[in-house]
Amino acid sequence: MTKERDKLQWLLQQKTTCPTGWTNFSCSCYLFSDESGSWDQGRENCRARGADLVVIDSPKEQEFLLRFTSGSAWIGLSDRDEEGTWKWVNKTPLNLVYWEKIQPDNGGGDPQWGEEDCAEIRSDGWNDLSCDASLRWICEKLS
């Protein structure tokens, strides 16, 4: 009985342990990148690590990310498929929102900003931005 308990505890610990450099929160591991790049480059980097750009699905997760994000970073949200229809990288629709005031605005129609189809997290909330802008990113994978 003791051996079985110890084995179950070990398995549980393995399941909730994140790789070196990743931060655990709830049932996920998060990597806050040190490098910068486009939204696509961030997503490719996350996927190469067995993860994807972060999907924010609770107020507690939003609070957690804000504690660890300085400046701004890409999140896994875009309206590339259909303008105005924001979806997460896991194809779930956007239900919980933390947009900054007057966002998303797709550049406000100003040609200098171009199409703003990808989302970043900032201290004041989310903002839509050109997917080609260079930002750090946040990867997420199940722990």
The answer to whether residue 82 sits within a structural domain is: yes
Write the CATH number for 54: 3.10.100.10
The answer to whether residue 135 sits within a structural domain is: yes
Neighbours of 56 (CB within 10 A): 23
Asked whether the predicted pLDDT for residue 119 surpasses 90, the reply is yes
The answer to whether residue 20 sits within a structural domain is: no
User: How much is the pTM?
Assistant: 0.86
Provide Rg for the chain, Cα atoms. 17
Query: pLDDT for 2-19, tens place per residue?
Result: 656 555 554 454 456 899
- Could you list the beta-strand ranges (E) of 1-143: 23-25, 28-32, 52-53, 73-78, 87-88, 118-122, 125-129, 136-142
The answer to whether residue 36 sits within a structural domain is: yes
132: left (phi over 0), alpha (psi -120 to 50) or beta: alpha
Instruction: Report whether 66 contacts 124 (CB < 8 A).
Output: no
Write out the residue range of the structural domain in which residue 138 sits: 26-142
Q: SS3 for 78?
A: strand
The answer to whether residue 68 sits within a structural domain is: yes
Count how many domains the chain has: 1
Query: How is 33-65 classified by DSSP, letter by letter?
Result: -SS-B-HHHHHHHHHHTT-EE----SHHHHHHH
Query: pLDDT for 13-70, tens place per residue?
Result: 445 689 999 999 999 999 999 999 999 999 999 999 999 999 999 999 999 999 988 8
Sign of CA dihedral 106, 112, 55, 26: negative
Q: Output DSSP code: residue 82.
A: S
The answer to whether residue 58 sits within a structural domain is: yes
Locate tokens 């900032």: which residue?
Answer: 122
